[in-house]
Amino acid sequence: MAMVDRVLEMIAQNGIRMLDLKFADVLGMLHHLSVPVEVVDAGQLSEGFFFDGSSIRGFRGIAESDMILRPDPATAVCDPFVEGPTLSLIADVLEPGLKGYSRDPRGVARRAEQYLRDSGIADTSHWGVEIEFFVFDNVRFQTSPDASFYYVDSDEAHWTSGRVPNGGYKVKHQQGYLRALPIDGQTDLRTAMTRQLQALGLVVERHHHEVASAGQNEINFRFSTLTDTADKAMLYKYAVKNVARAHGKTATFMPKPLYQNSGNGMHCNQSLSKDGENLFYDPNGYANLSQIALWYIGGLLTHADALLAITNPTTNSYKRLVPGYEAPTNLVFSRANRSAAIRIPISLSPRTTRIEFRTPDPSANPYLALAGQLMAGLDGIRRRIDPTAAGFGPVDVDIYHHPDAALLKLKHVPSSLQQAVDALKADHEFLLEGGVFTKDLIETLIALKEEEIRRLKTHPHPVEFEMYFDS
């Protein structure tokens, strides 16, 4: 009750008029329910608020639609994006009887953390996610039986220099990384985003322009535990989109919105600890990694094909995973090598020793993506999967430009969402351990993804008109 009392105090102290309950659906889309404070009491905060689950994609059918949102008091923050004082809380999705709903992504994340504690291997997993995004000044798209097109534009893109007055300061092709003003035209926008992220409780550590030519950005926030990091990833996307909108722009986390430019990644830094000790650190190991860390890597890479159906869950995801644009295409691990699926960043202390899984992108549901990685890594530890013996490296060369790359006999990431989904069908037992994921949830994910695949397969593409119209 102490946490509930804290919420009631925040309501009184800040003159709150509305509660806004936020939750994620199976695909990672954010939804919300607003409740006037006049009808809120301690009992409701503890028990939750009813909503219609049949209208949420991937949730319950119409015959069993009653569901409950129970807000987590620990997530309470004042929402800076609505008129009138509003308290935002992230909620867990429950079934009637206050039983956790098996398809609730946040519930999956919570169960993964409990499974870790029950395993005895570690008591805490630590996560730092690096989420990239584009901000465009003009976005238009349409899909109908008779037409299909998209158009995106950015004031700072090099292709605008010939059509705007005084257009000399532009981001050249693939040369946006860490550029200073006046080339970086979105510094002030990222600072505005940073201020709102801070208001939502995120500890922002830095922000900068990314590599791509037109409005690609990154804002980094401090690492935390699994569920908390996933909560913050949802708020991150919420804040970025709303600040962009307030400035007359549009932000997207789509993995590959621009042809021949770098795409948006969600690099996942992770480690395990027990009793405050980093289990991934060994001063005598490869890149200062312990045997536990290597087994964890072995699990991640062994299950990577299936995992990508969760961490890279859109057809567009696989347009990012191509050579030449700083996205990993090979299932290997390496010391400080950004061309590998798993990179071991340079560490300044035992406490910060970690691994970085570079394949995921921000179209993923962060709750499911982080939980899936943890389950794969723990399976590697449990089975003692040696990543070197399994053919995953280490590969300490630039894979993209290695003259004998063909001789390395590297394993590749799936080239399409269909391949990843097929892999998930064949390899998901590791996700079911401890009841973290359920068979029902996995089948639901597969069905939703195959529906998307079928739609793309049956719809004519503009590039097909260019290639085949006069055939």
Q: Where a domain ends, among 45, 66, 100?
A: 100
Q: Does residue 8 lie in a domain region?
A: yes
Is residue 95 part of the annotated active site? The answer reads no
Q: Which pLDDT score, from 0 to 100, does residue 90 have? A: 97
Q: Does residue 110 lie in a domain region?
A: no
pLDDT score of 61 more than 80: no
Q: Which pLDDT score, from 0 to 100, does residue 406 have? A: 55
Options 5, 9, 47, 52, the catalytic residue: 52
CATH code assigned at 23: 3.10.20.70
Options 70, 179, 209, 267, the catalytic residue: 267
Q: What is the mean pLDDT of residues 65-87?
A: 93
Is residue 452 part of the annotated active site? The answer reads no
Is residue 218 part of the annotated active site? The answer reads yes
Q: What is the mean pLDDT of residues 232-253?
A: 97
Same domain for 80 and 165, yes or no, is no
Residues 6+ apart with CB under 8 A from 388: 294, 394
Q: Which pLDDT score, from 0 to 100, does residue 410 have? A: 83
Percent pLDDT > 90 in the chain is 72
Same domain for 168 and 277, yes or no, is yes
Q: Which pLDDT score, from 0 to 100, does residue 336 have? A: 66
Q: Does residue 418 lie in a domain region?
A: yes
Nearest CA among 435, 389, 200, 412 for reference residue 321: 412
Same domain for 82 and 138, yes or no, is no
pLDDT score of 403 more than 70: no
Q: How far is it, in rounded angstroms, from Cα 146 to Cα 466?
A: 16
pLDDT digits (tens, 9 = 90+) for 177-216: 878 888 888 999 999 999 999 999 999 999 999 989 889 9
Q: If 0-12 CB within 10 Å is exposed, 13-18 middle and 19+ buried, where does residue 411 land?
A: middle
Grade residue 334 by pLDDT with cuts at 50, 70 and 90.
very high
pLDDT score of 21 more than 60: yes
Q: Does residue 144 lie in a domain region?
A: yes
Higher pLDDT pick, 428 / 400: 428
pLDDT score of 454 more than 70: yes
pLDDT digits (tens, 9 = 90+) for 43-60: 888 889 999 988 898 997
Q: Which pLDDT score, from 0 to 100, does residue 432 have? A: 98
Q: How far is it, in rounded angstroms, from Cα 11 to Cα 451?
A: 43
Is residue 156 part of the annotated active site? The answer reads no
CA distances (Å), 214 to each of 136, 138, 297, in order? Answer: 7, 11, 34
Q: Which pLDDT score, from 0 to 100, does residue 176 have? A: 76
Grade residue 87 by pLDDT with cuts at 50, 70 and 90.
very high
Is residue 466 part of the annotated active site? The answer reads no
Torsion of CA 422, 425, 426, 428, to 10 degrees: 130
Q: Does residue 106 lie in a domain region?
A: no
pLDDT score of 452 more than 60: yes
Count of domains in the chain? 2
Is residue 205 part of the annotated active site? The answer reads no
pLDDT digits (tens, 9 = 90+) for 119-177: 999 999 999 999 999 999 999 999 988 889 999 999 898 888 888 777 788 888 887 78
Options 210, 231, 282, 305, the catalytic residue: 210
Same domain for 95 and 145, yes or no, is no
Same domain for 54 and 190, yes or no, is no
Q: Does residue 318 lie in a domain region?
A: yes
- List alpha helices for 177-274, DSSP H: 187-199, 226-246
Torsion of CA 367, 300, 263, 25, to 10 degrees: -20
The string of DSSP letters for 281-302 reads: B-TTSGGGB-HHHHHHHHHHHH
Give me the domain span that covers residue 332. Answer: 124-468
Same domain for 84 and 128, yes or no, is no
**Mean of all residue pLDDT scores within the chain:** 92
CATH code assigned at 150: 3.30.590.10
Options 111, 320, 358, 428, the catalytic residue: 358
Is residue 356 part of the annotated active site? The answer reads yes
Same domain for 257 and 165, yes or no, is yes
Q: What is the mean pLDDT of residues 257-281?
A: 96
Question: Taking a C-beta distance cutoff of 8 angstroms, is the pair 411, 423 a contact?
Answer: no
Q: What is the mean pLDDT of residues 452-467?
A: 91
Same domain for 96 and 130, yes or no, is no
Percent pLDDT > 70 in the chain is 97
Same domain for 132 and 209, yes or no, is yes
Options 20, 132, 282, 326, the catalytic residue: 132
Q: Where a domain ends, among 85, 100, 115?
A: 100
Same domain for 79 and 134, yes or no, is no
Q: How far is it, in rounded angstroms, from Cα 137 to Cα 215?
A: 9
Is residue 52 part of the annotated active site? The answer reads yes
Is residue 130 part of the annotated active site? The answer reads yes
Q: Which pLDDT score, from 0 to 100, does residue 179 have? A: 87
Grade residue 394 by pLDDT with cuts at 50, 70 and 90.
very high
Options 20, 104, 184, 218, the catalytic residue: 218
Same domain for 70 and 156, yes or no, is no
Same domain for 246 and 385, yes or no, is yes
Q: Does residue 116 lie in a domain region?
A: no
Q: Which pLDDT score, from 0 to 100, does residue 282 have? A: 94
Options 282, 356, 361, 379, the catalytic residue: 356
Q: Does residue 450 lie in a domain region?
A: yes
Supply the pTM of this predicted model: 0.95
Options 17, 32, 247, 338, the catalytic residue: 338
